[in-house]
Amino acid sequence: MTQQRSTIFSTIDEMLESSEFAGRPALDLIREIQELYLENDKPWVIGYSGGKDSTTVLSLVYVAVSKLEKSLRTKHIYVISSDTLVETPLVVDMVNSSIQAINDNAKALDLPFTGHVVYPDWGETFWVNLLGKGYPAPTQNFRWCTERMKIDPVSEFITDKIAKYGEVIVVLGARSQESASRAQVIAKHKIDGSSLSRHSSLPGAFTYMPIEDWTFDEVWMYLLSAPAAWGGNHYELFDLYKDSSAGECPLVIDTNTPSCGNSRFGCWTCTVVTKDRAIEGLIESGETWLQKLKDFRNKLYVTTDPAVKDQYRNYKRRTGKVQYARGSIDNENVTELKTIPGPYWLSVRKDWIKELLTIQKHLNDEGHEIELIRSEELFAIRREWMFDPNEPDWSDELPAIYRNVYGKDLNWPDTDGGSFNQDDAELLQSLSKQYRTPAELVMKLLELEMSMDGLGRRKGLFNKIESILKNDWGSLEEILAHKEQAKPTTSITNGTSYDDQLDQLAKEYEALQ
């Protein structure tokens, strides 16, 4: 994709001397950045997503600081990029190469820059939540992914620097022209008489947005008119945008930061949008291998349709209970309750993880070095399956699924295995029919007993047993029938004695448990 092309100016210094942006000489902005850098000892954190806006901001700061005398370059600048582990692969490659180039160049020139990539915790990645815990594919109404995968890793990094230095300045490539909502967010937190804004959720953090008034054309004019500050040029970035017809996902630092729109680079698994126009554009431009990812993403998107949710998702929530919600009722006599679907069935998750691993293997075999799911995520998913609140996987099937696809084993941690196996599960299934007791109920009770084994004081055991027994067990039809039977069928009359009334209420209360 990268082509050797010349720029209008042979150096970035020539471009800055001859250009102005947002009605302001470029060198004037460079001086503002230098003055702000020298104003105090607060370290800077630059949010770098690899897109056009964040690249422009990083370049401006890089140039401004490099022009300072060495003795003045005392304050460190952290360049952080957030990798959700499901980013568009071509963007990941470009960001990683840029981070490496920045680190190498900064070291060679003795500049106070270091590039860092932050990731979500292994227990909070997209695949661990979706395939491990069974969370439904994200939607506008249930976008569980942004906070876990983007906000938390970045906030943790920034919070760590605040704890170390007291305060930090976060430099972002946000522009008011990008959207009306972004313009409102920028204006809301602005400090009067200052180029800084207060961070909306992190005490001790301030934000600086040096290109907030720039236009789309000005950003590209800056990037393409001169070589990159850390070597090379920005034509690969331009080609990526051109081929995908996409924008960029900003580095998300709080819930007020606008999320990705319909045509932005972001997670290839994103089901919040109807179509992933970015990846479609890349496929049309020749990156046909991405079709496999698009097809898998579309398969996840289908499950967000309310009409088919019951086919893919358990009737119980992860709490172990069936949750009810009244639909829109036009007739006041209609009292039918609807159930709110819970996590994906374990069988669905098993099919998907096998397909995902197969896609990964095929792409690797075709020469595409890509890791769609990490081994650490597989370990976490295995634990989630083994101790699933509704469908504990005593068969421990994930190692077999991996072996079936790859023909070899991972170094699975021994501690992940449960105390029971497939034979135990099959025995309980056969006994459950004989004794009319759900096998899953017995499984959870046995798991609890094993978890408490060897403890000198088994504090809270009976409360935990009671909690398990109070969950909804059996088929949905059996649960609904039990709920119907538990409804009070008699009314208390004035002619009933006080003791009889208490006795009757006690029986009805027990039936409701």
77-82 and 113-118: which strand pairing? parallel
d(CA 17, CA 19): 6
Tens-place pLDDT, residues 258-306: 444 334 567 999 999 888 888 888 898 889 999 999 999 999 999 999 9
pTM equals: 0.80
Radius of gyration of the chain (CA): 29
Is 66:112 a contact under the CB 8 Å cutoff?
no
The owner of tokens 């504090």 is 459
Phi, psi at 382, each rounded to 5°: -60, -45
Question: Do 248 and 52 form a contact (C-beta atoms < 8 A)?
Answer: yes
The residues, ordered by sequence, that sit 6+ positions from 1 with a Cβ below 8 Å of its Cβ are 90, 236, 239, 240, 243
Question: Rounded CA gap, 149 and 8, in Å?
Answer: 39
Residue 188, classed as helix, strand or coil, is helix
- SS3 for 422? helix
Amino acid at 284: E
Instruction: For the chain, give the number of residues.
Output: 513
Residues of the chain with pLDDT under 70: 1-4, 178-194, 243-265, 326-337, 415-419, 453-458, 486-502, 504-505, 507-513
**CB within 8 A of 104, min separation 6: which ones?**
none
The predicted pLDDT at position 210 comes to 95
Strand bridging mode 20-21 / 196-198: unpaired
Rounded CA separation 109/46 (Å): 19
CB 395 within 8 A of CB 427: no
Task: Count the Cβ atoms, other than its own, within 10 Å of residue 113.
Answer: 23
pLDDT for the residue 263: 40
Q: Return d(Cα 202, Cα 493) in angstroms, integer.
A: 60
Name the residue type at position 18.
Answer: S
34, 64 Cβ separation under 8 angstroms? yes
Q: Which residues of 391-428 are buried (b: 16+ CB within 10 A; e: fewer)?
A: bbbbbbbbeebbeebeeeeeebeeebebebeeebbeeb
Helices (H), 245-395: 277-284, 291-302, 309-312, 346-365, 375-386
* Alpha-carbon gap, residue 242 to 223, rounded angstroms: 14
How many whole angstroms separate alpha carbon 422 and alpha carbon 430? 12
Residue 438: both structure tokens together = 């759900």
